[in-house]
Amino acid sequence: MAEAPRFGFALEGEQCAVGTDAERQSCRNQQLSSKLAALHGEQASGNASVGNTVVANYTEAAKLGDADSWKTEEFMQDWGLEAMNAHHAYARGLTGSGIRIGLFDSGVGLDHTEFAGKDHQGLKIGNLLEDGTRCGADQAIGGETACFGTDGGRAQIDATYWDPSLIRYLKPEYQYLAGKLALGWGSHGTHVAGTMAANRDGRGMHGVAFGADFSSARLFADSITVMNLTCAFFGACQSISTYADETAFEDMYQQMNAAGVRAINHSWGFGREPGTAEQQELYFNHEQLAKRWQVLRDGSLANGMIQVWAAGNSGINPSPEESPIAGMHATLPRFMPELEKYWLSVVNVRQTDDADNPYVLSNRSMKCGFSMEWCIAAPGTLINSSVMGGESLDGDIEEDENGNFRLLGIDKLREATTFDYEDYSGTSMATPHVTGALALLFERYPYLTNAQVRDVLLTTATDLGAPGVDDVYGWGMVNLKKAIEGYGQFRVDTDVNMVAKAGGT
């Protein structure tokens, strides 16, 4: 029987078309970090700057009723805020205050000052064991009885063992790595969380819903990749990690719903996505995935939680129309129509120099495809947000009495940690713009259901591409200036119970 597909992040350049645990994990590790920089002299993507000093007594100088006054230097660090007209929402007093959103990602470095002073949560989830207990967080990275358990309030650790055989191929300034187990932080989740809800505090950047709180769960456990000749030059890498099963997904959704999360961000998908309607049907009917789809369904139906999915990325596409279709998770309502009102699929647009067409689908983004009726476009190219830096060469592993492997040296990595900012690109970066926008609209419309607020977001989007809802851009670009004024149209019969006044001014 064919093995079920595995997961990867929705970053540009993420083309891990693999099926096994080890292949999927090692491919992801190579593409999400600068591990091969030592061999090829490449630089890490983005523009980093140090950012671990708290700014005390920040006073907001922007004014209600004056949208342009909110366009500070901090605001301008993420071009997506202005592109979505977020400043018009801020000028109406909307920040996401009192709203809880969520993310299922690689964990968040909650010690980053962009998350200080808020009620953010790191959820601990784990696979259900035979004795009815849950696997504890970050106990073992692999072994005979190792199980999946993570803490969403701590970023994933990507460890790399640099085989001594590589020393002759390493640039001189990197030869010290040979024979070392290097530990580093995976910053994907920290970057996503920053776009959603980083503080507006006068430094760095700020999130779309800078007044909102979030709950973070971690899908990706710590891992070790062996970087030897076959890995570095042929991509045949060995990797050790643990993986979430359906019981861990159930645990995550139960905790998110209990915490009052109204929308959850998913900036990940399969390493290999189906490219046709027939292939999607095979994925949906895959015996090993049947339970997964049911768990995703129940996660929304329990309390009406909106699920915001990255459409996915691909290789370079010649035109938006020729881009591959959105991934399986983003398209799930095609097979489960009851999910449509709780679902969003998000594609990545970039800026252009054409004033008449200022935004176009990234040449690495998948298009909306079969998800177009619940699909929206958002900024996702060269997005500046929070990351964690630092590296430790004091890593080691030990085998316990149960034959499981534990990662040592994490304390040294914590001592070396820095908190920075970098530019990332991909539908991973577009998706949290949408999740943050939902938080602003939840605050604006306390009398609407989650599904009704989602419809406000869709029906007020600025049309892109072919007129109307199309299979490239869906409903178009998020437009908060219009969204804060109400529905663009009613898609379905809509009953509104006016139990509270509108948020903001």
Instruction: Share the mean pLDDT of the chain.
Output: 90
pLDDT confidence of residue 23: 37
Mean pLDDT, residues 166-189: 94
353 domain-assigned: yes
341 domain-assigned: yes
Helix (H) or strand (E) holding 293: helix 290-301
pLDDT confidence of residue 54: 53
488 domain-assigned: no
pLDDT tens-digit readout, 337-388: 999 999 999 999 999 999 999 999 999 999 999 999 999 999 999 999 999 9
494 domain-assigned: no
pLDDT tens-digit readout, 3-13: 556 667 766 64
Q: Which residue has the higher pLDDT, 194 or 36?
A: 194
pLDDT tens-digit readout, 243-298: 999 999 999 999 999 999 999 999 999 989 999 999 999 999 999 999 999 999 99
For residue 37, the enclosing domain spans 7-54+63-483
DSSP string, 430-488: HHHHHHHHHHHHHHH-TTS-HHHHHHHHHHTSBP-SSSSSBTTTBT-B--HHHHTT--S
By three-state DSSP, how is residue 343 classified?
A: strand
pLDDT tens-digit readout, 78-133: 999 999 999 999 999 999 999 999 999 999 999 999 999 999 999 999 999 999 99
The length of the chain, given as a count of residues? 505
Of the candidates 427, 429, 8, 432, which has an alpha carbon nearest to the alpha carbon of residue 220? Answer: 8
496 domain-assigned: no
Mean pLDDT, residues 450-467: 98
pLDDT confidence of residue 493: 56
For the whole model, what pTM was predicted?
0.90
CATH number at residue 340: 3.40.50.200
Task: Assess whether pLDDT exceeds 60 at residue 38.
Answer: no
84 domain-assigned: yes
Q: How many domains does the chain have?
A: 1
For residues 198 and 187, give the distance between their C-alpha atoms in angstroms, rounded to a whole number: 14
Measure CA of the first residue to CA of the last residue in the chain; give whole Å: 58
Mean pLDDT, residues 405-419: 95
pLDDT confidence of residue 499: 67
198 domain-assigned: yes
475 domain-assigned: yes
Mean pLDDT, residues 213-236: 94
